[in-house]
Structure 1
Amino acid sequence: MTATGEDHVTARGGPLWWARWRGALLDIGLATVSSVECAVEGVPFARDAGIPVGVGLAFGLLAGSVLLVRRKWPIAVVLMAIAITPAQMGFLMGVVGLYTLSASELPRRIIASLAGMSLVGTLIVTFVRVQQSMARGEWTLGDWFVPFAAIATSLGVTAPPVLLGLYVGARRRLMESLRERADSLERELQLLAERAEERAEWARNEERTRIAREMHDVVAHRVSLMVVHAAALQAVARKDPEKAVRNAALVGDMGRQALTELREMLGVLRSGEEAARQERVRPAPAAPLAAVGAAAAAAASRAVGAAGAAEGPCLSELEELVGQSAAAGMVVDLSVEGEARSYAPEVEQTAYRVVQEALTNVHKHAAGAKTYVRLAHRVSEIAMQVENEPPPEVSSASSARLPSGGNGLVGMKERVSALGGVFVSGPTDAGGFRVSAVIPAS
């Protein structure tokens, strides 16, 4: 980890601790200039200290080269600059070191402490040097000039790099914060788009399931009655031509009713698909992923809503439904308890479909059995029950051989459970079969 915030650079393409080659070349250049400066300033220092000039040159080169590690160890650079301040060496090192230290992510108290040490060191050295020059008579200004020169020099050398470093560090942290926030927003938008697509897929699956149930209810019941009538027609065609004609008319009527309901259902499906297609085309190509996903989910939801709002069967048609089964040869008894009232469309449609599917199952599996249909209007719910007696051993409709897909009871249970109701089905003790359902009225 570096101390200057360079660890936040994700793509590292430079050597050692440098994130980029450009930064490495810059530091090498600064270290070279600093080494030359310190080596030149080391010559008078060696003469004043009474040591060989070569030692002063070597010391200056070594001290100036410390600037090479300013990004990794800025504290060491500043401490070295403070240490060689009495020798009047390392001006460039001090300025660059303070800037790097202030721009780093180190605690502010450490930055303030080292900047204060550099300020005091420069102040003391400048004060002594100026006072010595005044004593030698090089400068003839007043005594006020010594503290003024010391304070001005120390502030001029320390304050600008510290302030500039603080500004650059704050700006860098702000840019990193904005970049992280932008990345976070992009991830959130991606997540929202995925969730919207999941909701749209869920809505499409629900619509497919609903359409499959509707198709099953419409086709299974109507076609089952048509097959029963066709079998009866075949049995009485020669014996009773008039009854055969009536059965043929019933078959035609039921076929037309089945086609009408299928057309209505397919019309709603086409309108829902057209609305979904328009919503998919509407967003611009550069729109965010979340907008596209939300549009898909909204289109699918509208398709489900439009299909659900389509005109469907209601409880007022229950007598006609029972009459059709009676016309097909079933002995069916309908009883209604309580005061009839209107319910929500989905409640009436579900109650109708439960009775319809139960009667269809009687035609399929217990042809000729007497059936009881009971409907009860209660305070906060509506209950229905379809129960048939054991089928006779020989039935005139048994030759119809109606197929069974095995999905009727499952579809009824799904319908009732979706509205918060209870569905129970199973054989009776007498050998028949009973289907019961209770649906909340609201």
Structure 2
Amino acid sequence: MTQSAMEYRWLLPGSLRDAQRRERPRVRRSTRDWIVDIVIFLLSVGMGLVTAEQVQAEPGLPEPLRVADQLLGAVACIAIWLRRRWPVGLTLVLIPVSFVSAVSGGAALAALFTVAVHRPFRYVALTGGLNLATVPLYLHLRPDPELSFREGIALVTLMFLVVMIWGMLVRARRQLVVSLRERAERAEVEAELRVERARHLERERIAREMHDVLAHRLSLLSVHAGALEYRPDMPSQDVVRAAGVIRSGAHQALQDLREVIGVLRHGAEGAEGIDPARPQPTLADLAALVEESRDAGMEVTLDMRVDERAEAPAQLGRNVYRIVQEGLTNARKHAAAAAVDMVVAGGPGDGLTVEIRNPVTGGQPIPGSGTGLIGLTERAELVGGRLEYGRAPDGGFRLCAWLPWTA
């Protein structure tokens, strides 16, 4: 998992409350925030100026009340700059202020709009309900000369409802955008994780393949080196032949080891010098594998009971080859110079059975990781097969695998 994916896992929102928390006001405004705040401030001032002219023309209103109305309206417009930090508190304060000051009505609408945009519906219902509750009393004390009482209530109520609905629509749109953005980011991270997982599995698969190959080659080298150690009197041509096999096998083992390191370090695609189209073993290569073990001095009997071996799927042939290869490697470790009996039987629809039997004579002290048979079991189970191994009734060792072969 990459670092960005691990960081994002802790940043994923758990609920809508997280999205709401991100929408809450920040101390530092962005350029867009400044533009929006200036526009809302100018709209509030503009509505206040229009209302101030109406207040000046209102008959029967004492001059001190006109001046107080305009001063409260100016203070309310200035207080609009606090709407992002305390939207609910500012709205609750402006409700009584707008009740006594008509000039502050625009600021009260702006504050109510801010609550609808940045707070859940319960706060919108509270502040909007209080504003609507003051409308009848306000129109009763200061009736509109051009509208009847009912028409005034309907007009002001409609204005408050439009402001609240507009603000809630803006809020819903913002939450939708946030949700879509998070969904896209989550999908991107999940895709990255899937790719990383696929690469990891591919590296594991290639490393398992190369482990089997290396174990086989190195066990052959050990056998030939052991022959030179225990038979120093063998003919010179046999010594030369064994040394040539050791040199060739060591060269191939080093090449395989280089590929393993490249795969594990860079991945299957980025390992320099690795041919991705390298031929994979098939059922037809079993004979060459057995012959290679015979050249190393093993007595191997192969009973091939597969008629349609050329029609076997590539994956099936590769898995059978690796199972036989690991079985022969184990036989060299634990049953040196002992006869190894191997049977490969089956066909389309019936599956393919591989059985390897050999006595346990101790063999040569060839070190191993102890994970070869475990890896073979995993390989068989991944394709829907099964693999069993252990002591046979006659005291020898038996390895038996069954792999599916669809007709």
TM-score normalised per structure 2: 0.65
Which of the residues 432, 437, 441 maps onto 2:396?
432
CA deviation map 1:365-416 (0-9, x unaligned): 2212221111112324211111112327xxxxx5x53222222112212222
Which of the residues 325, 329, 354 maps onto 1:360?
329
Distance 1:29 1:125, change over 3 A: closer
- Aligned partner letter, 2:404: P
Q: What pairs up with 1:3-402 in 2 under 5 angstroms?
A: 9-11=24-26, 71-72=91-92, 76=96, 80=99, 90-93=101-104, 105=116, 106=124, 110=129, 117=136, 121=140, 126=145, 149-150=146-147, 159=155, 169-248=164-243, 250-251=245-246, 254=249, 307=276, 310-341=278-309, 342-378=311-347, 379-391=349-361, 401-402=365-366
Distance 1:249 1:110, change over 3 A: closer
Alignment gaps of 5+ in structure 1:
15-20, 47-55, 82-89, 127-148, 278-303, 393-397
Equivalent pairs counted in the alignment come to: 355
CA deviation map 1:115-163 (0-9, x unaligned): 973796489663xxxxxxxxxxxxxxxxxxxxxx555x9979985x777
187-196 or 223-232, which moves further after superposition?
A: 187-196
Tell me how far apart the structure 2 counterparts of residues 370 and 207 of structure 1 sit (CA, whole Å): 36
Tell me how far apart the structure 1 counterparts of residues 113 and 213 of structure 2 sit (CA, whole Å): 79
Distance 1:361 1:201, change over 3 A: same
User: 1:184 offset after TM fit, Å?
Assistant: 2.6
User: 1:419 offset after TM fit, Å?
Assistant: 1.8
User: 1:356 offset after TM fit, Å?
Assistant: 0.6
- Secondary structure of 1:404 counterpart: coil
Q: Percent identity?
A: 27
Tell me how far apart the structure 1 counterparts of residues 139 and 253 of structure 2 sit (CA, whole Å): 100
Which residue is 2:11 aligned to? none
User: 1:349 offset after TM fit, Å?
Assistant: 0.9
Structure of larger gyration radius: 1
- Aligned partner letter, 1:417: E
User: 1:230 offset after TM fit, Å?
Assistant: 2.7
CA deviation map 1:160-192 (0-9, x unaligned): x77776665555444433433333333334333
- Residues 356 and 398 in structure 2, CA contact (< 8 A), matched pair in contact too: yes
Distance 1:39 1:318, change over 3 A: closer
User: 1:437 offset after TM fit, Å?
Assistant: 1.3
Mapped pair 1:421 → 2:385:
yes
Distance 1:168 1:13, change over 3 A: farther
Tell me how far apart the structure 2 counterparts of residues 427 and 401 of structure 1 sit (CA, whole Å): 20
CA deviation map 1:79-112 (0-9, x unaligned): x35xxxxxxxx54356665676688644599599
- Residues 416 and 423 in structure 1, CA contact (< 8 A), matched pair in contact too: yes
Tell me how far apart the structure 1 counterparts of residues 379 and 337 of structure 2 sit (CA, whole Å): 28
- Secondary structure of 1:376 counterpart: strand
Distance 1:158 1:267, change over 3 A: same
Q: CA RMSD in A?
A: 5.3
User: 1:65 offset after TM fit, Å?
Assistant: 5.3
